[in-house]
Amino acid sequence: MTWFYPEGKQTKMIAFRITDTKDFMTKLLAGDTFDTFLFSEGTVTTFTTFAIDGTWHPEYFGEDDGHAMTWKLMRPYLYGIIKGHHTPLQMRIVLKLADYNVEHLLKQAMLPLTKEQVGGLFLNLTYTREEVSVTTGTSLKIFTLDRSIDKVWDDMVRRFFESRKILVNEA
C-alpha cells in the first residue's frame, strides 16, 4: 500500500524479514526486548492451535490494579506453550505500542494528533517454517488524509530494531 503526502513524498507500510531467527526468538521469548509493548492478540500452532485475544480481565485478581496485558506478562505463558522438543508449526503475535509511548512519539515527531486519536501502532510478528517476518501497522480513530504517522512509526521500528541489534531485510 502506498500513501502520497502533500509534500510529494510517498511511503509504504513496511515488512521486515528477520535474518537471524534464533536470535530474534530468543529476544522475543526469553529476553525483555519487547516487554514494554502491549500484547494485543496471538495464535500458536503446536499439536493444536492456541488463540489468545489479549483482553485484560482485572476482576480475575479481585480489583482493577491498573495493569494492562503487556508482553512481559504474557511472554511466560506463550513460552510455556511452545517450549519442548518441537518448534511451533506457526505463530502469530500482534504487539501494540503502549499509550504513554504513543504520546511520546507524537510529541517527538510534532504530529498534530493526540494519543486518543490513535487506535494503535502495531507490530505483527509471524513465525512460519523457521522464518520470522514483522509488519508494521497503524490504526487511527479519526479520518485523515495525512498519513505521517505511518512514516514516523515505520522509522521508529527501524531504529528500535537497530538499537536492539535485530538484523532485518526490508521486504
pLDDT in tens, 160-171: 999 999 999 997
Rounded to a whole number of angstroms, the distance between the first and last alpha carbons of the chain is 13
160's grid cell: 528500535
In 3D, which of 132, 113, 110, 114 has the Cα closest to residue 123? Answer: 132
Q: How far apart are CA 136 and CA 168, in angstroms?
A: 13
Question: pLDDT digits over 95-142, tens only?
Answer: 999 999 999 999 999 999 999 999 999 999 999 988 999 999 999 999
Q: CA 121 → CA 6, 46, 130, distances in Å?
A: 22, 28, 26
Cα dihedral 75, 80, 81, 86 sign:
positive
What does pTM read for this prediction?
0.88
